Structure 1
C-alpha cells in the first residue's frame, strides 16, 4: 500500500498490491448489481443497473420490490453488506475473505429470507473467464485496507466528476459505477443518434452494447487498471476525426490507440499540486476533443452552474 490513510483526499493504492482483492470485489459487485438489474425497469443506456458511491462504500440505491423498496450496500468502512427493506426488515453479511461462491450463496439466502425474488444470469459479464458464481472458488480475497483505499479513490473521483457534470445541461448520466467493467463513469450526450455499436465485450451480448451506445456520446471515468494506481479515461462514440490528436491536459495524459481513449494515470492526479484542477482539466479538454471535432451544439448544451448563486 502507498497510503496509510484511506480518509486522505487522494489515497494511493498500487494495483499490483490489491489485484486479488480487486478481482474478488469486482465479482461481488456483479452479484449485487445483477440483483438490481433483475428488479428494475429498463432506463436508457442501462442506467437502472449501476451502483452509487456512498459515504460508506457502494450501494444499489432504492430498488422496487412489489409494494416496497429495498437497497443493498457494500460498506467498506465497517466491512459488511447490508440489505434493507422499506418494511423494516433486513440482513447483514460480514465482508471478509471468502469465495465468490460463498458470497453468492449468502446473498441469495438473505434475499430469500426477505422474500425478494431476483432471477438473473448467474455468471459474470465482461470478464474472461466467466465462472458461474456458485462454482467460483478461485476468487476469495478481501483486504480491508485495500477495499477502503479503493473506496477513497472513488470518493475523490466522484466529487470532481460531479463538479464537471454540473456544467452540462444537455442529457448527461449520473456519476455512477458500472459493475460489469468495474469503473466509475459519467457520460454526456450530443442529442444525436449513433451508429449501431458492434459489441464485442467478453461474455456480454452485443445487444447490451447496442443499447449502451445508442446515442452519440462523450464519456469519462476512473478504472482501477491501466496504470500503477489505476487510470482516468475519456473516449467518444463514435470517435470523430481529429479526436485522438486534440491537445489535452495535463501533460501526463495520452491517447491510447490500443484502448481507443485518452488515459491519465491516477498517480499523476494524486501527486499534482492541485489534484482537483488536474482532473478537471483532463475531463474538460477531452470533452472538448469530442464536442469540437464532433460538431456538438455547445451553446445549447453547456451552462454555468453558478447562474443562480445568489443567497437562497
Structure 2
C-alpha cells in the first residue's frame, strides 16, 4: 500500500486545526443522541443512547416512535443531516457553519415535518461549560474537510475495534460512539460487580455514571482530542483499576500511562505513522486488555476465544494469540 493511499485511510487530524469545529460537532451529536435517549427504554450501561459509525458518517440506528421508526444520520461525505422514517418520509439539513441554536431548531422542525414530536433535555453533558442548545450562539464552526477526516478515522477504528471484539466470549458492548464524551468505544466485562463509582463526571448525573460502571470493565476506544490531551489518541483503561495495572509495559513503545486520565494512551499519530497501523493498534488493544485481565484476576479461560475468522465458528482459546 503506497503512502498516499495510507494517508487517505489514516488521515492527519491535528486537533488544534479543528478545535472549534470539533466542539460544535460534539454538541450537534449530543442533540441527535438526546433524541434517541428521549424515546428509547434504558439499556444497561447507557447502550441505548449511542451513535454508530456508518458508511457515510454517524447514525442513530432505528428509533421507535409510535408504530413507526425513524433514523437520524450525519453524512460527512455530502455534509448533510438526514432524517428518514420507516414509511418513506425524509428531511435534510445542511452541515455548514451555523450555531448550535440554529441546528437545534432545524432538527426539531425537520422531525416535526415528519410527524415526530420530541422534547429533549437541552443541557449538554460531559462538557465543562454548558449553554442550553436553544441559546447557544457561541459554537458556530464547521469544517467539512476535518469532519470528513474524523469520520474516515472512525471507519478504521470501528473496523479494528470490531476485530478485537471477536476474541472475547464474555459480556461485551457493541462498538459504539458516545456523544457525551465524544469517543468511539468497546467495553469488555469480567462478570463481577464493581465497587460504587464515585461519580463526579462533569455535568453527568452520578446515577448514570454509577450504572455505567456497575461491573468490572476493560474499555478501549478512540478520542479526537481535547483537554488534557491536545491530540487525537486511542485509549484503554480498567475500572476498578487493579494493582499493578499502570506499571505494566504496554505495546507499542509509543503508548504510555496518563496519570491525569488514569488510562493508557496511544497517540493516533503513532498508529498513523506505523508500517502496519492495524497491527500496531491491535497490539495496544490486546496488551492493555491483557494488563487489566491479568492484574484483575479475570477468569480468562471462560471469557476469551480465538480471534474471529470469516465463515469459521468461534473456537475457545486461551491465550488467544
**What is the TM-score normalised by the length of structure 1?**
0.95
Q: Does the CA contact (< 8 Å) of 1:228 and 1:265 recur in 2? A: no
Aligned-residue offset at 1:156 = 1.0
The residue aligned with 2:135 is 135
- Which residue is equivalent to 1:232? 234
Counterparts of 1:4 and 1:126 in 2: how far apart (Å)?
37
- Residue of structure 2 equivalent to 1:26: 26
SS in 2 for 1:285: helix
Structure 1 residue ranges, 4+ long, deviating more than 3 angstroms after superposition: 3-7, 226-229
Q: 1:276-291 maps to which residues of 2 (within 5 A)?
A: 276-291=278-293
Contact 1:221 1:234 in 2 (8 A): yes
User: How many corresponding residue pairs?
Assistant: 308
Q: Which TM-score applies when normalising by structure 2?
A: 0.93
For 1:72, the equivalent position in structure 2 comes to 72
Aligned residue runs from structure 1 range 248-267, under 5 A: 248-267=250-269
The residue aligned with 2:316 is none
- Summarize deviations over 1:44-63 as a string: whole Å, max 9, x none: 00001000000100000111
SS of 2:190's partner is strand
How far, CA to CA, are the matches of 1:276 and 1:134 in structure 2? 41
The 2-side partners of 1:7 and 1:67 are apart by 45
Partner of 1:126: 126
Q: Distance in 1 between the 2:68 and 2:150 partners?
A: 32
Q: Quote the residue 2:299 is aligned against.
A: 297
Please state how far the C-alpha of 1:228 moved relative to its aligned partner.
5.5
State the match for 1:54 in structure 2: 54
Shift of 1:120: 2.1
**Corresponding residue to 2:312 among 301, 304, 309:** 309
Structure 2 CA distance for aligned equivalents of residues 267 and 202 of structure 1: 28
Query: Which string of whole-angstrom CA distances, capped at 9 and with x for unpartnered residues, describes residues 181-222 of structure 1?
Result: 000000000001111111111111111101111111000000
Taking the aligned partners of 1:4 and 1:17, their CA distance within structure 2 comes to 21
Gaps of 5+ in 2: 314-321
Deviation track 1:62-99 (CA, whole Å, cap 9, x = no partner) reads 11111011100000100000000001112100111000
Q: Could you say which residue in structure 1 is the equivalent of 2:97? A: 97
Query: Deviation of residue 309 (structure 1)?
Result: 2.4
Q: CA RMSD in A?
A: 1.7
Structure 1 unpaired stretches of 5+: none
Query: Any conservation in 2 of the 1:228–1:267 contact (CA below 8 Å)?
Result: no
**Cα displacement (A) at 1:246:** 1.0
2:84 maps to what in 1? 84
Question: Match of 1:187, SS?
Answer: strand
Alpha-carbon offset, residue 127 of structure 1: 0.4
Q: 2:249 aligns with which of 238, 247, 250?
A: 247
Map residues 156-305 of structure 1 onto 2, 5 A cutoff.
Answer: 156-225=156-225, 227=229, 229-304=231-306, 305=308
Provide Cα deviations, 1:133-162, integer angstroms capped at 9, x if missing partner.
001000001111010001011111111111
Shift of 1:119: 2.5
Separation of aligned partners in 2, 1:162 and 1:234: 15
Task: Give, in whole Å, the separation in 2 of the partners of 1:47 and 1:301.
Answer: 21
* Aligned residues of 1:243 and 1:289 also touching (Cα < 8 A): yes
Alignment check: 8 A CA contact 1:5 1:11 kept? no
Structure 1 residues 256 and 77: CA distance shift in structure 2, 3 A = same
